[in-house]
Amino acid sequence: MTGKRIMLIEPPFLRLSNRAYSLSKYPLGLGYLAAAIKTHTEWGVRAYNCDFSPLRQASQLTYLTGQGFQNYRRNLEDLSQPIWQEIQKAVADYAPAVVGISAKSPTFAAAQAVADLVKALDVRILVVLGGAHPTIVQEQVLTCPDIDVCVVGEGERTIVELLNAVDGRVDLKDVGGIIYRNGAQIVTNPPREPIEDLDTLSFPHLFAPEVLKDYAQYPPKALRHIYSTRGCPRNCTFCASRALWGGRVRLRSPGNVVSEVQSLREQGLDFVHFDDELFGVTPRHLKALTQTLSEQCPDMRWSCETHVQMITEENVSLMKRAGCYLIQLGIESGNDQILKAMRKGFTIDEALAACEIINRHDISLETFFIVGYPLETEQTLQDTRAAIETVDCDKVVYSIFTPYPGTEAYAFCQANGLIGQDFEAALYHHQSPANAFCLYISAERFRSMVIEIEAIVDAKNQAGHEKRQARYARWFGSSLEPA
């Protein structure tokens, strides 16, 4: 162990199904933390995305055979597998005094495995867990004996104060937003207030060449992801955003966002993707942001995810003029009653009309659908199948419902006996063939129906891929995915 070094880790997920699969991006959570540490401390920092593979094979996770999920479970249960040896060696080579692990509910089991490996190397290494999952379940994560500190909420300021505490400059009890073990006692410090001025945060990509492990092996597009907001004003019952952010949205100023986009352009990127949960948030903010992009980044192209209710002729026209080439829409279901239960705020007819607007503006379209919501019936599944067949899009992203802690759907599943109190979401993710959480459909019948739907999705996506290649060739002079 070496003093004043911290390693920030994104646990493996895709690579547990196949070691060649790759999350070929710089995770923004790690990026913001690393930037804060470089800006405000004297600590050395390395960001390690364990889900990145230099082979960079696109993931082809399937629901049909379950082979990928079998590999996933086997790798989680056997820490002698090569991927864990690779991770342990990377930690040993850097020899950090502190390891910070980021965890969502689907990756919490892998995060615990990483913590186990770290403590096996040196029990003195301080293991800190942050991210969405610990923010929601809080002190529960400390039931894992290898985790020393739980960070609740945003971590940029917390990690700086925590490292100051490790240095002896402040007392651990004065670090807001953490829960930690003090001997046999669990200590919960006061919560930390959200960062009100997001413009004060350093741009993650500026430090990537210095801090990101294997930086030279990443494709250029690994750095093209940015946030213009934090939070989401919606309240979908299957999403934990409200539990994380309280339903409040904080906005970066358009000028600050454009400064980051311009900086990425200077590094050779022609395309960026907004990772916002809901791009634009309000018509007023969308107009201000797109106008600033149009004026100051006229040659930059970008993609985003937004809400059906944000899709109007005026908004999409502004987005297209500002360089938007791809929009992702969460439609989720083809049945109005399921959409109402999910609290999506639109009908299937309104969703399909939004898709028509996007297509009229010649913007590439991806749609998200979820099957297996707890109130699903055979008829509602058939309605979703019909919507998938009908929607005019380049790609359908198809998921099987998984209940996650912090969501109303999770509480509903527990209250209705669909999951037990010991349910671990990390063992039932969207690619699990075991996923079946419906009150009104047997697991066997649900399985047969979703296999049929997946075959339709695969065929539709193949045709959509050809359509998108033709569109990109027309726009960019190449049928390749923009880098």
Q: Tell whether 349 and 232 lie within a shared domain.
A: yes
Given 188, 216, 234, which residue is the final one in a domain? 188
Q: Are residues 168 and 232 in the same domain?
A: no
The verdict on residue 199 lying in a domain is no
Q: Which residues contact 12 (CB under 8 A, 6 or more apart)?
A: 50, 51, 75, 83, 87, 110
Mean pLDDT of 43-53: 97
* Mean per-residue pLDDT, 272-287: 95
Q: What would the pLDDT profile of 339-395 be if each residue is shown by its tens digit? A: 999 999 999 999 999 999 999 999 999 999 999 999 999 999 999 999 999 999 999
Q: 343 and 294, same structural domain?
A: yes
Q: Is residue 336 part of a domain?
A: yes
Question: Which of residues 188, 207, 235 is at a domain's end?
Answer: 188
**CA dist., res. 109 & res. 129, Å (int):** 12
3-state secondary structure of 403: coil
pLDDT exceeds cutoff 70 at 51 = yes
CA distances from 253 to 199, 240, 257, 337, 457 (A): 7, 25, 6, 38, 39
Residues listed for the chain:
483
Q: What is the pLDDT of residue 315?
A: 98
DSSP state of 21: B
Parallel, antiparallel or unpaired: strands 44-49 and 98-102: unpaired
In this structure, the answer to whether residues 247 and 164 fall within a common structural domain is no
pLDDT band at residue 245 under the 50/70/90 scheme: confident
Query: How large is the average pLDDT for residues 431-450?
Result: 91
The mean pLDDT of 204-223, rounded to a whole number, is 95
- With a cut of 90, say whether residue 285 has pLDDT above it: yes
In a domain, 196, yes or no: no
The answer on 228 and 184 residing in a single domain is no
CATH classification of the domain holding 435: 3.20.20.70
Residues 315 and 183 grouped into a single domain: no
Instruction: For residue range 219-243, list pLDDT tens digits in order.
Output: 989 999 999 999 999 999 999 998 8
Domain boundary among 168, 188, 208: 188
Same domain, 179 and 233: no
Residue 141 lies in a domain: yes
Backbone torsions φ then ψ of 285, nearest 5 degrees: -70, -40
Q: Tell me the per-residue pLDDT of 101-111, one tens digit each, with 9 for 90 and over.
A: 999 999 999 99
My answer on whether 350 and 458 are in the same domain is: yes
Name the burial class of residue 272, with classes exposed (0-12), middle (13-18) and buried (19+) by CB atoms within 10 angstroms of its CB.
buried
| The pLDDT of residue 322 | 97
239 and 364 both lie in a single domain: yes
Say whether both 230 and 91 belong to one domain.
no
Residue with tokens 């791809």, as numbered in its chain: 326
Q: Give pLDDT, residue 482.
A: 65
Q: What pLDDT was estimated at residue 57?
A: 63
- Does 30 map to a domain? yes
Beta bridge partners of 225: 273
Domain membership of residue 195 (yes or no) is no
Residue 209 resides in a domain? no
Q: What is the pTM of this model?
A: 0.95
Residues 179 and 254 in one domain: no
Looking at the fold, whether 240 and 173 belong to one and the same domain comes out as no
Model pLDDT for residues 380-435, shown as the tens digit of each residue:
999 999 999 999 999 999 999 999 999 999 999 999 999 998 898 888 877 677 89
Tell me, yes or no, whether 23 lies in a domain.
Answer: yes
For residues 40 and 72, give the distance between their C-alpha atoms in angstroms, rounded to a whole number. Answer: 38
Average pLDDT over residues 111-136: 97
Please give the Cα distance from 444 to 216 (Å, whole number): 47
When mean pLDDT is compared across 68-82, 83-97, 112-126, 436-450, the lowest value belongs to 68-82
With bands split at pLDDT 50, 70 and 90, how would you rate the model's confidence at 66?
low
DSSP run (H or E) holding 326: strand 324-332
Confidence class for position 70, pLDDT limits 50, 70, 90: confident
Specify the CATH number for the domain of residue 118: 3.40.50.2300
Number of domains in the chain: 2
Q: Tell whether the model's pLDDT for residue 62 goes beyond 70.
A: no
Tokens 């919507």 -> residue: 387
Q: Across all residues in the chain, what is the average pLDDT?
A: 93
* Non-local CB neighbours of 308 within 8 Å, separated by 6+ positions: 329, 330, 331, 344, 345, 346, 350, 351, 354
Alpha-carbon distances, residue 443 vs 295, 319, 434, 440 (angstroms): 54, 43, 8, 10
* Domain enclosing residue 99, as ranges: 5-188
User: What residues contact residue 470 under an 8 Å CB cut-off, 6+ apart?
Assistant: 479
